[in-house]
């Protein structure tokens, strides 16, 4: 397939590799982005696979808890300007309250429910807000979490809700401690709680890349396996929360820090506004001129 400039640009953003290296890799794997990332890593050109999609959509995340139940929600708007609007911020909080009270299975079900149990449908309520605010508004996703009286919720919103995190700690009721872990998750963005959560397929895939990387470096086969296991430990430190150096105390891993407090991580959820969504890219001057011409 034809390799476009936008494909090369995307691969550069995800790997940090040079333009020609990216173009060669894409050509070699017939445009498959994930395979191109693996190929660059195997050659030692890309230090890590940055597979996060472009973040483009606007909006807010919000965390709401009541008793032993909490929700993390994301609501999208078309522009950052509207995301800073007080009416939009109020709507996001109302939607979080509705979800927490009515317990829908997903966003589609939530939209069919009567707002807070006795009003218009949630979809109609959002549409009425759209009419006032003047932009398309979407309830994108949410996660509802429950705990026991012996556990703690950690709630953290970064940059006013650009990133939202909800953690659950077992063995402690210290919400400040749980919030510290939520702040770490916001900053470092782990993928898993611990190594047991990483699938065998993922581990084997990473091991194969690291093995090929070592062989490409000219390392003797007899020491490659030992090298791979050492590098695999570094991989786990990158992706597993409990294996990461704690942001508030770099001398301790998160797991050890919590162990000293008699606590463990049950789960975490991290939403970053717009992750995985695409947004129309326009030149601002062209957009203004298009309005003038109308």
How does pLDDT run along the chain (294 residues), one tens digit per residue? 789 988 998 888 888 788 888 899 999 999 999 999 888 888 877 654 443 333 348 999 999 999 999 999 999 998 889 899 999 999 999 999 999 999 999 999 999 999 988 889 999 999 989 888 888 899 999 999 999 999 999 999 999 999 999 999 999 999 999 999 999 999 999 999 999 999 999 999 999 999 998 888 888 888 888 898 889 999 999 999 999 999 999 999 999 999 999 999 999 999 999 987 765 444 445 544 444 444
Computed from CA positions of residues 259, 260, 263, 265, in that sequence, does the dihedral angle turn out positive or negative? negative
Rounded distance, CA 244 to CA 206, Å? 18
Q: What angle do CA 146, 189, 31 make, to 5 degrees?
A: 120
Confidence at residue 278, expressed as pLDDT on a 0 to 100 scale: 63
Confidence at residue 266, expressed as pLDDT on a 0 to 100 scale: 98
What angle do the packed helices 122-133 and 86-102 form, to 10 degrees? 180
Please, what are the domains in the chain?
1-39 (1.10.8.10), 58-192+265-272 (3.30.479.20)
Confidence at residue 13, expressed as pLDDT on a 0 to 100 scale: 81
Confidence at residue 123, expressed as pLDDT on a 0 to 100 scale: 93
Decide if 275 contacts 55 (C-beta within 8 A).
Answer: yes
Confidence at residue 50, expressed as pLDDT on a 0 to 100 scale: 45
115-149 pLDDT per residue, tens:
988 889 999 999 989 888 888 899 999 999 999 99
110, exposed or middle or buried, with CB in 10 Å at 0-12, 13-18, 19+?
A: buried
Dihedral angle at the C-alpha atoms of 159, 160, 164, 167, nearest 10 degrees? 100
């Amino acid at each position: 397939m034809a390799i476009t400039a936008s494909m090369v640009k995307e691969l550069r953003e995800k790997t940090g590799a040079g333009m020609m290296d990216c173009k060669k890799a894409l050509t070699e794997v017939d445009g498959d982005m994930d395979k191109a990332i693996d190929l660059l890593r195997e050659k030692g050109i890309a230090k890590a696979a940055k597979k996060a999609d472009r973040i483009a959509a606007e909006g807010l995340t919000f965390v709401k808890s009541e008793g032993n139940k909490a929700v993390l929600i994301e609501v999208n708007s078309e522009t950052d300007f509207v995301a800073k609007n007080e009416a939009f911020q109020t709507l996001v909080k109302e939607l979080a309250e509705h979800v927490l009270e009515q317990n829908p299975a997903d966003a589609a079900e939530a939209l069919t429910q009567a707002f807070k149990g006795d009003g218009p449908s949630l979809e109609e309520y959002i549409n009425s807000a759209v009419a006032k605010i003047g932009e398309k508004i979407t309830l994108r996703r949410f996660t509802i979490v429950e705990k026991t009286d012996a556990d703690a919720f950690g709630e953290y919103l970064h940059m006013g809700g650009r990133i939202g995190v909800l953690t659950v700690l077992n063995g402690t009721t210290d919400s400040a401690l749980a919030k510290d872990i939520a702040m770490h998750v916001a900053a470092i963005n782990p993928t898993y709680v611990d190594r047991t959560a990483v699938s065998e397929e993922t581990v084997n895939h990473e091991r194969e890349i690291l093995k090929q990387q070592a062989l490409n470096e000219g390392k003797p086969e007899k020491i490659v396996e030992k090298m791979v296991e050492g590098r695999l430990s570094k991989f786990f430190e990158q992706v597993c929360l409990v294996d990461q150096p704690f942001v508030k105390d770099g001398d301790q891993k998160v797991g050890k820090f919590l162990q000293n407090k008699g606590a463990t991580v049950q789960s975490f959820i991290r939403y970053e506004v717009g992750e995985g969504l695409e947004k129309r890219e326009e030149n601002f001057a062209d957009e203004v001129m298009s309005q003038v011409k109308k």
